[in-house]
Structure 1
Amino acid sequence: MNGKLKKAAIITWCLLLLSVAGYAQLHLPVYPDTVFTTYYQQRLTHFKTLPKTSNDIIFLGNSITDGAEWSELFRDMHIKNRGISGDVTTGVIARLNEVADRKPAKVFLLIGVNDLSRNSAPDTVVKNILFIADYLRQQSPVTQVYVQSILPVNSIYNKFGAHTNKSAQIIAVNTALQQAAKANNYTFIDIHTAFCNPDGKMQPALTNDGLHLKGEGYLLWKHLLYPYVFDLQPKAVLLPLPKSLQWNAGYFATYNCTTVIADAKLDNEQHYLLNLLAAKGIQITDHDSTGKKPYIQLHIAKLKTAQQADEAYHLQVTARSIVITAGTAHGIFNGIQTLMQLLRDNVIADACDITDWPAFTWRGYMVDVGRNYQSVELLKQQIDQMAHYKLNVFHLHLTEDIAWRLFSKKYPQLTAAQFMLRDKGMYYTVQDIQQLMDFCRERHITFVPEIDMPGHSAAFKRAFNTDMQSDTGIKIIKDIIKEVCETYKFNYLHIGGDEVKISNPDFLAEICRFVNQFHVATIGWSPGGNVPSNTIRQLWMKEGAIDKKLRYIDSRHLYLNHMDPLESVVTIFNRRIGDQKKGDNSLLGGEICVWNDRAVAKQEDVLLTNPVYPGMLAFAERSWRGGGKPDWITAIGAPNTADAAEFAEFENRLIDQKKQYFKTLPFPYYKQAGTIWRFYGPYDNHGDPGTKFKPEYAVPNDNAAFTATGGTMILRHWWQPLVKGLIADAKENTTWYATTRIWSDDDGYKNFWIGFNNLSRSYATDTPEPGTWDNRKSAIWINGELLTPPTWKYAGSNGNLERPLIDEGYEYRPPFKIYLKRGWNTILVKVPVTSFKAKDWGNPVKWMFTVLPVCDYDTN
């Protein structure tokens, strides 16, 4: 170390001792420009003249950091490089204001090897790094600081001898940094271990001078930092969770992979996999099948599994290969979906051994396009997501009172614009349906069209001026069925059969027998009409015991259009499909449904106003894993219970999926498992919901009646007692209060979801009166300040199914901006009710509230 640098280090160290010893405000030392190199000055002046953006991710360090194209490596322009070749801890301290003033979201620091090469003592290096971490936290409390271990070195190349003989000192620094992490409020990341060979030296393949990294080294570094950069779990999370998962030592590097080997009759799966890899930037150009180089293999072989062998798979990842084995092409396809999740960073899959199979054979998703038309491209988007999460039945509800969307060559008047009430002239051609069927087939998804009969058929009646149950109507519908079955040759036809007065008791039985003549199985809603025993019943409402001689699909309380987004994930995760832990010959499985009765402003709103993707992933987990709990439950569970812990583990995986794969898709869900509410009541309001009680005058903090976890709290569901809320014996004319605390790292406005009545998209619910949250006089206070309700666009308006929802739900209006002070903030919610009797069918009483920060805050 030259004299100027030595003097600068001494000054810094003295300041550090004074600051730490007295817990005083930290100040940066001032150095003359001559202390640092020309290159250092060049880089620093460059940094200072770049646009001053905030909330970025900054990589801070020396030449090893300087050498990476971080934004390209992570495909994120918010990641900025602040590495300077030759830099030392003192140099970082001297330029720390340039970093701190930007108020970055995260800083990843790697520094110290150059200090050691100049014979600085390990404890000096550690103390300087601790100063850097402390100063960043002082100047920018919202910044997450990550201190990385110093990388190993290797003298094999006879270069950088002053650096490569410092292995022992590097280990000493790393050990001290790891031990000091908690006390100094930073996250320590051990990258040293992964770069070491068995002798504790830098792996020669990752460097060409023993100190700096080659491209492969930066890819490994990316893999190690990936979960920290994007706030993910340490290992790739899998959803649905496999039946058996064993993590092993080592990893498979995709950049060394040369080929994908596939058995005969797996051309579709091989082509599908190659396209997925290409989309991740992994190009397979050498199709060497010798197995001498790292490879991926798709292999057909019989597997021994507990059940559902047709979809079971085995996936093994080693340093040399990734092998997916299954008894069928469908099993291979399922294994490919898991592999894609293992390759979350597009670079490396950690070694593991997975054996997996589903609990239910029927894992479906239904879309109603009769009421609101959706384009083929939007439907494909949803089908693709189904495939990624191993759902295997796509149910398309094509006909409705609103419109008939399925084209008929013989009866083109069915899809004429004049007979449609919404999205006039929008329907699916023969080519459209065939395209959707092919798209599903490539993804091992069964396509199930629905022609609803004899109910929900007003569009049919408008086109033909006759009832479907009449002799004329039966002849026409049989012609349509014949045309459809012969044109598309699908395996199932859903015939509807519910919510209609049956005037012809032979209608449904006759129609089902006619469909069966084309070797097509029938499905009907239950409760519904009198369908034959060989027709699969799709349950949509609670009814009596299941007849084991019949076949069933469960859709009871699985209608996403009725669910609050936060409630939907909780309810579906808790569900025991068909009241059984796994399927059998009678219970095939289940199906989530989207019945958006209300008109939408644009087709994409169906995915935003309904929790389609969060609900789909929760259902994928439950229908694949099986299990669940008896009854229909809307609550996560009390804090510190097994139920709450189980949900939190799932939610962490769900949030990881959202961050990685739904950046450009509507995903109305945020983490809620850490939000704990204390409830106080009940208070008798004697029919006056405006009556004030003790909690409004002094926010309580003890003696709660009960506690509950989550962002949406349903005190009493409109379908109670079928759907259980928090209060089993809820009484009319009562008021409850709930309170929680939320931590904020700094003063400022934060985004919140707040609501008191999540409107079903199938009911003509009234909009709240001006100046109110709801028509029950609910209220919310933040740190004692009463929060003003939204200014509703259609305030006080009667419900109207033809008027699209605009701002009535918290998930599709701009989040509330709430000012939080640094530290703990108190939230108090008041939820009164008078009567549980609905004003009319469109205004059921769902006694509830939602309060949730829409980013990650600590709550208690």
Structure 2
Amino acid sequence: MIKRFLVLLLVLGINAGAQTAVKEKPSLIPLPQKLEWKNGQFALKNYKEIVVKNASLYQEAELLQKQLKELGLVVPIKKGVDNNSNQPKIVLELGKIETQDSTAEAYKLNIDVKAITIKGSGNSGVFYGLQTLKQLIGAANNVQACSITDWPAFSWRGYMIDAGRNFQPMDLLKQQIDVIAAYKLNIFHFHFTEDIAWRLESKLYPQLTNPETMIRNKGSFYTQNDLKELINYCKERHITLVPEIDMPGHSAAFKRAMKMDMQSDSGLVIVKNILNEFCDTFDVPYIHIGADEVKITNNNFLPEVIALLEKRGKKVIGWEPGGKFKESTIRQLWMEDATKVSANHNVKYIDSRHLYINHMDPLESVVSIFKGKIANLDKGNDAALGGTLCVWPDRRVSKPEDVFMQTAVYPAVLAFAERSWRGGGQPGWLTYVGLDGSKEVSVFKEFEHRLLNHKQRYFSKMPFPYQAQSHLKWQFYGPFNNQGDLSKQFYPQEATEIDTNKATLTAIGGTFILRHWWGPVVTGLIEKPEENTTWYASTKIWSDKDQLQNFWIGFNNISRSYGSDSPDEGTWDNRKSEVLVNGKLIAPPHWKQAGAKGNLELPLIDEGYEFREPTKVQLKKGWNTILVKLPVGSFKGKDWQNPEKWMFTVVPWL
């Protein structure tokens, strides 16, 4: 076992001493801005009372009390300061925190033998301090001595779920809210009206939620009491719920229910009535009106809608690119490169570019989000508020939970939480861990260790499709001109032993996109990819015995926003990609929908490696050579629903 452990560390590229040091300290996500570990661990049971110095913090104290009770600890709450008590205590208080930026979300946490003290600039700061404290609790309910001063780089740290296309039940929505609260996100963007269905009750127009107006999940919608409950559930967790009522685009369900177009004169009257009803019913500061992907036929529509909402005291948000908005409208960027919006300092904006995880693979999403730079900035400002991570399950799913396996939501949430709280990152959309020996590899590797610890500790009963990848080192060989013959073989496949000195480059990771369908905007591994070429990738995997090993293997992770075709039987993809282990071809899965033509109403079943049974690969004792063949013809997909994403994923389950 000792030999196996040391070899595994060698394969993972981890120094044994460094790995031990990582395990000694709790894994925190997001990592605090200032963190000083100190000597000593203290038993949580020794802290005998929760002292609340400010009456407004009683809700946070009750939250802490509940968390401790779940650990088997009954700790009373006391108001004010008990000067006669010398017993260890947990102190919650408000006060000024010295940070780079003034924010109510800043906090200071100190743990020593006498007290655990959480001071916040505001109640939200204390709440975030409690989330950090929860992560600091280790085995046997011990806490590590430390001093933390922490604050967010961005004031807007959002998460969006589309429940218009695929309905999500209340318990699943609350689960998502609980997760984002634990990781210090503060916006829950709730998208519940779509072409597919209008999913919010209206007392004025009950026909909007009639089952016959819905294409999917017929009859499933949220009552007004449901939405009130969600708004309050968010407020208790210092999250602002941002409702989106999409208009005038994405409104086919409205048209089916009301028998008219939104932009007609009569339609506009109804929209105004709906918005007034909404403002009368719900206590929210923002209303998102969508306003993208539509031809404006009524030039009065958006100005009148925005004027109404602003008169009702609401801050209006719209998608950019989208309609012609007032300067006061907050823009949510989904494609625009931020230069046009950021050039006008009077316009506030939220960045969601490169944050649509329905287009990303699980391993790619964690890497690209962690490495990305929100709003092209290290931290927010008065105009650049922050970012929102978006989950758009455009394609029908068989059951609501499938969204979280097919789109790998929670791994992406943790990566986004780290980046939106910490700030920084790298410019552009980067899809792989990094080149061998680069600093970015070691930075990502450290984050991945924390991510995997959180997967094990907090997500054992929730979908969390992510496997370690920062230990995998691949040599890439190419390009070889295949002249359009994708079956043609070249040196790495013909050689008895591959000479690693002939490698074109060496890179780290488990998923590699040689060229994205959005290239060159999205940066793939190959700097100047060429059509009609073949590349090879090779790595070595150690096994301490002859065994069947589970692998994630895939060559075309289908976007959940397109009606893409399923792979043909007997193929991994349409490029004739192959994977060989010790010279033996690994057969592709027996696809359950082999050759099915793309259809947004046809749920995916096993097309993605993350939600099908793993591929079982026979490994021999010792080193095993994996060779991946990556041919490509034209970069132009056969249609927009089937874009050409030249890529592969090969990852063993550790």
Task: Report the TM range for the smaller structure's normalisation.
Answer: over 0.9
* Residue 266 (structure 1) aligned with residue 57 (structure 2): yes
Is the 1:252–1:321 Cα contact (8 Å) retained in structure 2?
no
Q: Could you give the per-residue CA deviations for residues 439-471 of structure 1, whole angstroms, max 9, x where no partner exists?
A: 100000000000000000000000011000111
User: Residue 489 of structure 2 aligns to which amino acid in structure 1?
Assistant: K
User: Residue 770 of structure 1 aligns to which amino acid in structure 2?
Assistant: E
Q: Alpha-carbon deviation of 1:285?
A: 4.5
Select 1:326's aligned residue among 110, 120, 132: 120
Matches within 5 A, 1:300-315: 300-315=94-109
Q: Alpha-carbon deviation of 1:636?
A: 1.2
Provide the rounded CA distance (Å) in 2 between the counterparts of 1:346 and 1:269.
Answer: 24
2:537 aligned residue: 738
Provide the rounded CA distance (Å) in 2 between the counterparts of 1:232 and 1:795.
Answer: 45
2:74 aligned residue: 283
* Residue 253 (structure 1) aligned with residue 51 (structure 2): no
Secondary structure of 1:309 counterpart: coil
* Range that drifts further, 285-294 or 584-593: 285-294
Secondary structure of 1:736 counterpart: strand
Provide the rounded CA distance (Å) in 2 between the counterparts of 1:718 and 1:249.
Answer: 51
Matches within 5 A, 1:449-460: 449-460=243-254
Is the 2:563–2:599 Cα contact (8 Å) retained in structure 1?
yes
2:313 aligned residue: 519
Q: Alpha-carbon deviation of 1:542?
A: 3.1
Secondary structure of 2:37 counterpart: strand
Aligned residues: 638
2:559 aligned residue: 760
User: Residue 40 of structure 2 aligns to which amino acid in structure 1?
Assistant: G
Q: Could you give the per-residue CA deviations for residues 722-742 of structure 1, whole angstroms, max 9, x where no partner exists?
A: 100011210000000000001
1:778 aligned residue: 577
Q: Could you give the per-residue CA deviations for residues 80-125 of structure 1, whole angstroms, max 9, x where no partner exists?
A: xxxxxxxxxxxxxxxxxxxxxxxxxxxxxxxxxxxxxxxxxxxxxx
Query: Against the structure 1 CA distance between its residues 537 and 246, is the aligned structure 2 distance closer, same or farther, given a 3 Å change threshold?
Result: same
* Residue 589 (structure 1) aligned with residue 386 (structure 2): yes
Q: Alpha-carbon deviation of 1:345?
A: 2.8
Q: Alpha-carbon deviation of 1:307?
A: 1.1
Provide the rounded CA distance (Å) in 1 between the counterparts of 2:185 and 2:333.
Answer: 19
Provide the rounded CA distance (Å) in 2 between the counterparts of 1:188 and 1:649.
Answer: 14
Provide the rounded CA distance (Å) in 1 between the counterparts of 2:330 and 2:532.
Answer: 44
Q: Alpha-carbon deviation of 1:232?
A: 7.1
Provide the rounded CA distance (Å) in 2 between the counterparts of 1:681 and 1:832.
Answer: 10
Provide the rounded CA distance (Å) in 2 between the counterparts of 1:188 and 1:772.
Answer: 41
Is the 2:61–2:77 Cα contact (8 Å) retained in structure 1?
no
Q: Could you give the per-residue CA deviations for residues 646-699 of structure 1, whole angstroms, max 9, x where no partner exists?
A: 111111111111111011110111110110110001000001100111111214
User: Residue 706 of structure 1 aligns to which amino acid in structure 2?
Assistant: L
- Normalised by the length of structure 2, the TM-score is 0.95
Provide the rounded CA distance (Å) in 2 between the counterparts of 1:644 and 1:293.
Answer: 46
* Residue 854 (structure 1) aligned with residue 653 (structure 2): yes
* Range that drifts further, 835-844 or 342-351: 342-351
Gaps of 5+ in 1: 1-135, 146-181, 190-226, 856-860
Q: Could you give the per-residue CA deviations for residues 790-824 of structure 1, whole angstroms, max 9, x where no partner exists?
A: 10011111111111110000000011111111211
* Residue 240 (structure 1) aligned with residue 30 (structure 2): yes
* Residue 828 (structure 1) aligned with residue 627 (structure 2): yes
2:441 aligned residue: 644
Secondary structure of 2:242 counterpart: strand
- Normalised by the length of structure 1, the TM-score is 0.73
Q: Alpha-carbon deviation of 1:282?
A: 2.5
Secondary structure of 2:24 counterpart: coil
User: Residue 814 of structure 1 aligns to which amino acid in structure 2?
Assistant: E
* Residue 579 (structure 1) aligned with residue 369 (structure 2): no
Q: Alpha-carbon deviation of 1:413?
A: 0.6
User: Residue 360 of structure 1 aligns to which amino acid in structure 2?
Assistant: F
Select 1:805's aligned residue among 587, 604, 622: 604
Select 1:787's aligned residue among 580, 586, 593: 586
Provide the rounded CA distance (Å) in 2 between the counterparts of 1:792 and 1:759.
Answer: 14
* Residue 618 (structure 1) aligned with residue 433 (structure 2): no
Is the 2:538–2:627 Cα contact (8 Å) retained in structure 1?
yes
User: Residue 510 of structure 2 aligns to which amino acid in structure 1?
Assistant: G
Q: Alpha-carbon deviation of 1:303?
A: 1.4
Structure number with the higher strand fraction is 2
Q: Could you give the per-residue CA deviations for residues 379-406 of structure 1, whole angstroms, max 9, x where no partner exists?
A: 0000000011000000000100000001
Is the 1:596–1:762 Cα contact (8 Å) retained in structure 2?
yes
1:503 aligned residue: 297
2:260 aligned residue: 466
Query: Against the structure 1 CA distance between its residues 523 and 781, is the aligned structure 2 distance closer, same or farther, given a 3 Å change threshold?
Result: same
Is the 2:108–2:129 Cα contact (8 Å) retained in structure 1?
yes
* Aligned-pair Cα RMSD in Å: 1.8
Q: Alpha-carbon deviation of 1:143?
A: 8.2
Q: Alpha-carbon deviation of 1:346?
A: 5.4
Secondary structure of 1:499 counterpart: coil
Is the 1:742–1:825 Cα contact (8 Å) retained in structure 2?
yes
Matches within 5 A, 1:384-533: 384-533=178-327
Which has more radius of gyration?
Answer: 1
Q: Could you give the per-residue CA deviations for residues 263-289 of structure 1, whole angstroms, max 9, x where no partner exists?
A: 211111111111122222322148594
Gaps of 5+ in 2: none
Secondary structure of 2:247 counterpart: coil
Provide the rounded CA distance (Å) in 1 between the counterparts of 2:6 and 2:457.
Answer: 20
Select 1:379's aligned residue among 170, 173, 183: 173
Query: Against the structure 1 CA distance between its residues 452 and 422, is the aligned structure 2 distance closer, same or farther, given a 3 Å change threshold?
Result: same
Is the 1:437–1:447 Cα contact (8 Å) retained in structure 2?
yes
Secondary structure of 2:270 counterpart: helix
Q: Alpha-carbon deviation of 1:552?
A: 0.4
Provide the rounded CA distance (Å) in 2 between the counterparts of 1:616 and 1:291.
Answer: 42
Provide the rounded CA distance (Å) in 2 between the counterparts of 1:264 and 1:285.
Answer: 15
* Residue 695 (structure 1) aligned with residue 492 (structure 2): yes
Q: Alpha-carbon deviation of 1:750?
A: 1.0
Provide the rounded CA distance (Å) in 1 between the counterparts of 2:47 and 2:98.
Answer: 29
* Residue 723 (structure 1) aligned with residue 522 (structure 2): yes
Q: Alpha-carbon deviation of 1:250?
A: 1.9
Provide the rounded CA distance (Å) in 2 between the counterparts of 1:548 and 1:665.
Answer: 42
Provide the rounded CA distance (Å) in 2 between the counterparts of 1:253 and 1:320.
Answer: 11
Provide the rounded CA distance (Å) in 2 between the counterparts of 1:242 and 1:463.
Answer: 49
Percent identity between the two aligned chains: 53
